Chain A
């Protein structure tokens, strides 16, 4: 059970999707139940994974020994004669970097399934696609083979495209196509780097087996691996015996790059007169920054959010954006730490700019969902800033921010969905004094808004604090980003307070007023289903704000390993 746990997590929603497909139209009322059960099982399995995670395991994030719940079997391999062998693994596993996000994904997908309860239009397709989406998201977080990762990464686009394009708002087709094409551009950049990496990286264990240095059945020790690595470096191992791999953990180790390979640490490979490693880093960074999204690659986000149905917005903001951040951590920073360090000023600056730019834009929005979308841009800026800092606090803050923003933005979009369900209008200026009509809803909105603007006691505060102290410390410890960046970034907090409080004041305070008189009777307070979605989120947001150790214990060792990997690599 435990050894296959991650596989179960990936495939449970897929099984659910199959069940939905096989159920006849006459049983359409069962679709949502199947979806909910599948997501509930996934959530339980994810919690089991968290409880089975050994928080004492430490080590650099480029060693496979610190990966837990590992499952690794060869998927396929191709002999290529003198060019060696090309091998793709089914390799899944978790460490501190992705475990928290796996948990987040399970939570948000479950909440999204509850939120999908009211979907009435083409149910079979909707729930089938939703479960397919769930499966590929979960797969993306646990896949540790770049090929597998990319497969899941690309596969997400398909259900997402249809979920926005069929069940979305009035401009859904435009938004869906824009989302699809925009993210595809990012994917292509990633693909290019992936091909470059495949040309450069080999799997030392498999190479050893191929070269006959040891048997496939033995457990490789560190010395054996180093033996192979030296053999490859000094040419003792024949080129034909080298097994090239997509293993993302191997890719993070400089020793696993072939000598004279284009992306190797000591290569002189150049693209456009720049070091190939730097260009590869930038390609990965931009590829994932589109997903994150960071200024100036964010313009797909407001459209996609505004047009997507509520549960899809929740999944989009709650999880999909985090794949961008996770990708930057797992690939760009891990593979090319030296390039990351070289560009840290730039990354920090774009993080800072996203924070301020997103907040300023949010201030000017008239559509509630658009406002929340731009606030996401602002909050994701903290992820970039924290990562650019390259300190333990900064990286912790970045991961914490992803987790916390996943919960908070889910709540925000659910809240926007509540009012949209009732009136089919999201214009901030079309409402006034809702606090009288819907007091409980107002309480929830207030909680969500204050959580999002970083009030202490909510999870967002811990995240932002970590990013700030990590970023300020950065210059003294590692010299990555200057002192003024986090100080200027604090202005984002004031702007955040500005747009949220202004919205509260305009929509909820004052005398009750709505644009269309007929809305008044539709504006009922929260119902049980909405409580079921919102209350757990409030509890989680508070829990992770008051007792951050729950999450920090999970991610702590890996973050340390990750920052150590970077600092060691920089010193080389």
Chain B
């Protein structure tokens, strides 16, 4: 099969205009909003609304179709073509809707949230940049372009985390986020290299088609195809096939905050809260999962195992960390990491649909939680005066907010129920589906993989616990702030936000009811499962993972009852434990305001997130900085010192030569003249000037000569 018959430049399709509009409108917002001063929020929100309308139009138009590809040439090197391609399928449509919907809500929310910020024009511009980049990831069906937009979301995330750049912690958090993401991206890049070496294209359709045609011979991964009529036969060790999958997954590890790169996400909470809702909960962090979905079919068994293990570890670790945080956004951040861990786990066990389903439901309820938390933070911020400053995100200053902000409470509660996995809410459906597929996968795999199941179910319990701990601490009991700071703060009443703050939260809360997806309590019955189905792996035989589709449905039925029962029991147990510990008047709730950094190993592990940060900062970062200083020293003193030493040596040698020249070479000349002079001095006395003496001498010598000659 000729590769150029797979990546064909498509004929003109009017769809391209709609795609360009989807990308162009947010980009326009980026370029224009920055220059508008006061009107930027409204302008940006209007543009985003228009973009949502485009997305809805496309969804209506292309719902249920097979998927449309638009492809064109970008540039060429040698006989290799680099193309760009858009792919509009069900998944892309759903993601378009989710991203645009949440982005619009966040824009709307931000109008109020950022009302008094002097730099709000820049803020809205950057939101536009982010939306543009995120939609790029969704729309393109080319790994290179996904990588390009992948980095661009990293950039916009960097700029938005560091939006309040005067805060040192914010700019440091931004750096950390970008660099951690970059580390993951190295993997992505390596994956690109491997796939390119094999297939000479980044087009996903091309890669998939050629993966089917590739084969494993004697442990070598052989890709054989025609290119411009010539047979190409690329061969790599078979392990590179797994490596490609794992390498690409590394990109997701960075972006979706998976172990071991997840440390950036809690710090990223330094950004404005709506940004956390949009980027660090709903969309960007989910991009990693979306990317895995795009490359899902070319992942082999080994890569999938790695993905599953990483997902399960992340889910559990972050859930433990969420147990003991004081900062409400930190709790939500760790919960986000944990839920992303679920999605990645789902991908790893082959539960493609369940993972994406959780992505969508999580986007809704977590954005809702963040925006509700944002409302609380924003309203608390109103109480701050010049004299009294307090941490508006600290749960220790909250408490009893249900009385002041009943509306926010209900929105928060609904989303929290979804997060905790209580039946009737979306989180239950999707999480349950993941747990079921995991159980099936592990039964099939057997062996040591049971620990994944244990971690996954333990996380259910922990999730319910920390969610309700948060609810009890924030909304029940008494308002603790007046006791902690000056009483005068209570002079201004604490109340629900205005329509800008309420509307997005309530829409997202509505989206958290499982009714949105269907009437059933089973994920398989929702419309989502109808439109998105588990694909078939395309990897050549010995490396291919088994597919969940191949497992008989009865087996699912058999496990389903058990999984549901256990997960509901665990969720309720978590809820009840939280109630017992943190209900108003309970021991933990009363002592909570006085709590400081915890002591004791297990508590510290939770609070400091397994010391991962400390490990990175104290060991790896320190090592790198030490190395860099050492190398700088080496460069300056040794390498440059060597050059300078040669220069100095040259000067020394020059001086030596000069000495030699002056004293030895020239000295020899002087010696000659000196000797000649001395000899002359000695012989001159013979010259008496007396002619008669000369004659006598001449005669004497003549006679001597004669004597010598004759005798």
Interface residues, chain A, with chain B CB atoms under 8 Å away: 178, 181-182, 296, 299-300, 357, 360-361, 363-365, 392-393, 396, 433, 435-436, 450, 455-457, 461, 465-466, 468-469, 471-473, 476, 486-487, 490-491, 493-495, 497-498, 501-502, 504-505, 508-511, 547-549, 552-553, 556, 559-560, 563
- In the assembled complex, B218 has its CB within 8 A of some CB on chain A: no
Is residue B69 contacting chain A, with contact meaning CB distance below 8 A? Answer: no
Q: List 10 A-B contacts (CB under 8 A).
A: A181-B647, A182-B643, A360-B627, A396-B78, A455-B151, A487-B193, A491-B186, A494-B183, A501-B179, A502-B175
Residue pair B236, A455 in contact (C-beta under 8 Å): no
A181 to B189, alpha carbons, bound, how many Å? 40
Q: Name B148's closest neighbour in chain A (CB-CB).
A: A456
* A510 touching B171 in the complex, CB below 8 Å, given contacts A361-B631, A549-B76: yes
Contact (A552, B182) CB under 8 Å given A364-B628, A505-B171 = no
Contact for A510 among B152, B158, B165, B647, CB less than 8 A:
B165
Partner of B175, one of A456, A491, A505: A505
Are A472 and B171 in contact, with the CB atoms below 8 A? no
| In the complex, B601 has a CB within 8 A of chain A | no
The reply to whether B190 and A490 contact each other, CB–CB distance below 8 Å, is yes
Which residue on chain A has the smallest CB distance to residue B640? A299
Measured between beta carbons, the chain A residues less than 8 angstroms from B627 are 360
**When the two chains form their complex, are residues B632 and A364 in contact, meaning their CB atoms are under 8 A apart?**
yes
Contact among B158, B165, B235, B635 with A508 in the assembled complex (CB-CB below 8 Å): B165
Interface of chain A: mostly helix, strand, loop or mixed: helix
Asked whether A436 and B166 contact (CB < 8 A) given A363-B624, A396-B77, the answer is yes
A456–B75 CB distance below 8 A: no
**Cβ-defined contact, A456 with B152, below 8 A:** yes
Residue B185 CB within 8 A of the other chain: yes
Tell me the complex Cα distance, A95–B80, Å: 21
A494 touches B75 (CB 8 A): no
Write out the residue numbers on chain A whose beta carbons fall within 8 Å of the beta carbon of B640.
299
Secondary structure type dominating chain B contacts: helix
Determine whether B587 belongs to the interface, using a CB cutoff of 8 Å to chain A.
no
Are A497 and B197 interface neighbours, CB within 8 A? no
| A74 and B182 alpha carbons, distance in the complex (Å) | 55
In angstroms, how far is the closest chain B Cβ from the Cβ of A368?
15
User: Chain A contacts of B185 at CB under 8 A?
Assistant: 493
- From B76, B172, B234, give the contact of A556 (CB < 8 A): B76
| B611 at the binding interface (Cβ < 8 Å) | no
B648 at the interface (CB under 8 A from A): no
Q: Which residues of B contact A455 (CB under 8 A)?
A: 151-152, 155
Which B residues touch A299, using CB under 8 A? 635, 639-640, 643
B428 interface residue per 8 A CB criterion: no
**B655 interface contact, C-beta 8 A:** no
Contact B77 A296 (CB under 8 A): no
| Cβ contact of B629, chosen from A364, A502, A553, cutoff 8 A | A364
Which of chain A's residues have a CB closer than 8 A to the CB of B183? Answer: 494
Contact of A393 among B80, B179, B629 (CB under 8 A): B80
Q: CB-CB < 8 A to A476: which residues of B?
A: 197, 234-236
Do A473 and B197 have beta carbons less than 8 Å apart?
yes
3 closest Cβ contacts across the A-B interface? Answer: A364-B632, A456-B148, A472-B193
B602 at the interface (CB under 8 A from A): no
Report the nearest B residue to A475, measured CB to CB.
B197
Contacts of B643 in A (CB 8 A): 178, 182, 299-300
Task: State the CA gap A495–B623 with chains docked (Å).
Answer: 13
Q: Which of B334-388 contact A (CB under 8 A)?
A: none
**Per-residue A-contact encoding for B166-199, CB less than 8 Å = 1, 0 else:** 1110111011001100110110011011101100
Interface residues of B in 629-643 (CB under 8 A from A): 629, 631-632, 635, 639-640, 643
Determine the distance from Cα of A117 to Cα of B648 in the docked complex, in whole angstroms. Answer: 38
User: For B561, what are the chain A residues with a Cβ–Cβ distance below 8 Å?
Assistant: none
Residue of B with least CB distance to A547: B75
Task: State whether A392 touches B193 (Cβ < 8 A).
Answer: no
Partner pick for A468 among B165, B175, B189, CB 8 A cutoff: B189
A482–B208 Cα gap in the complex (Å)? Answer: 26
* Known contacts A476-B234, A552-B76, A357 near B189 by CB under 8 Å: no
With A364-B628, A495-B624, A511-B166 given, can you name 14 additional A-B contacts, CB distance below 8 Å?
Answer: A181-B647, A364-B631, A393-B77, A393-B80, A455-B155, A494-B186, A501-B178, A505-B174, A509-B165, A510-B165, A552-B77, A556-B76, A556-B77, A563-B78
Contact B179 A494 (CB under 8 A): yes
Against A, the Cβ 8 Å flags (1 = close, 0 = not) of B50-70 are 000000000000000000000
A461 cross-chain contacts in B, Cβ below 8 A: 148, 151
Considering only residues 119-157 of chain B, those with a C-beta below 8 Å from chain A are 144, 147-149, 151-152, 155
In the bound complex, residues from chain B placing their C-beta under 8 Å from that of A473 are: 193, 196-197
Interface: B427 (CB within 8 A): no
Q: How many residues of B contact A (CB 8 A)?
A: 52
CA distance A361 to B76 in the complex (A): 36
**Assembled-state Cα–Cα distance A338/B354 (Å):** 56
Alpha-carbon distance between A45 and B669 when the two chains are bound, in angstroms = 63
A490-B186 in contact (CB<8A):
yes
- For A361, the chain B residues whose CB sits under 8 A away are 628, 631-632, 635
For A360, the chain B residues whose CB sits under 8 A away are 624, 627-628, 631-632
Q: Assuming the A-B contacts A436-B166, A493-B186, are A549 and B178 also in contact, with contact meaning beta carbons closer than 8 angstroms in the complex?
A: no
- B162 CB-CB contact with A under 8 Å: yes
Enumerate chain B residues within 8 angstroms of A392, measured Cβ to Cβ: 77-78, 80
Question: Distance in Å from the Cβ of B65 to the closest Cβ of chain A?
Answer: 30
When C-beta atoms are compared, the residue in chain B nearest to A300 turns out to be: B643
Q: Residue of A at shortest CB range from B240?
A: A483
Query: Would you give the 0/1 interface string for B66-106, flagging 1 where the beta carbon is closer than 8 Å to chain A?
Result: 00000000111110100000000000000000000000000
What are the residues of chain B within 8 A of A300 when measuring CB–CB? Answer: 643
CA distance A357 to B162 in the complex (A): 29
Give which listed residue, B80, B151, B186, B193, contacts A456 with CB less than 8 A: B151
Residue of B nearest to A508 (CB): B165
- Could you say which of B148, B236, B632 contacts A457, with CB atoms under 8 Å apart? B148
A552 to chain B: which residues have CB within 8 Å?
75-77
Which of A363, A433, A469, A473 counts the most chain B CB atoms within 10 A? A469
Q: Which residues of B sit under 8 angstroms from A363, Cβ to Cβ?
A: 624-625, 628
Establish whether residues B628 and A509, one from each chain, have CB atoms under 8 Å apart when the complex forms. Answer: no
Contact between chains at B236 and A501 (CB < 8 Å): no
Within the complex, which residue of B155, B162, B190, B632 is in contact with A450, where a contact is CB–CB below 8 Å? B155
Interface string of B531-565 (1 = CB under 8 A from A): 00000000000000000000000000000000000
State in angstroms the CA–CA spacing of A300 and B234 once bound together.
43
Q: How far is the CA of A493 from the CA of B188 in the complex (A)?
A: 12
- Whether A468 contacts B193 by the Cβ 8 Å rule is yes
Shortest Cβ distance from residue B495 to the other chain A in the assembled complex, whole angstroms: 33
**Most chain B CB within a 10 A radius of its CB, from A182, A360, A508, A549:** A360
* Inter-chain contact B168/A509, CB cutoff 8 Å: yes
Contact of B78 among A457, A493, A560 (CB under 8 A): A560
**Beta-carbon contact of B78 and A559 below 8 Å:** yes
Considering the chains assembled together, what is the distance between the CA atoms of A504 and B170 in angstroms?
13
Nearest B residue to A295 via CB reads B639
A300-B639 Cα distance, complex, nearest whole Å: 11
In whole angstroms, how far apart are the Cα atoms of A142 and B78 in the complex?
Answer: 24
**Residues of B with C-beta under 8 A to A548:** 74-75
B152 vs chain A, min Cβ distance (A):
6
Most buried by B among A178, A491, A497, A563: A497
Closest Cβ of chain B to A386, distance in Å, is 12
CA distance A469 to B75 in the complex (A): 15
Chain A nearest Cβ from B108, distance in angstroms: 27
CB distance A549 to B186 under 8 Å? no
Residue of B nearest to A552 (CB): B75
Contact status A472-B196, CB under 8 Å: yes
Query: Given A455-B151, A469-B193, A490-B190, A296–B178 Cβ distance below 8 Å?
Result: no
**A556 CB contacts on chain B under 8 angstroms:** 76-78
Select from chain B the residue with minimum beta-carbon distance to A446.
Answer: B159
The interface residues of chain B lying within 8 Å CB-to-CB of A487 are 190, 193
Interface members, chain B 611-669 (any A CB < 8 Å):
624-625, 627-629, 631-632, 635, 639-640, 643, 647
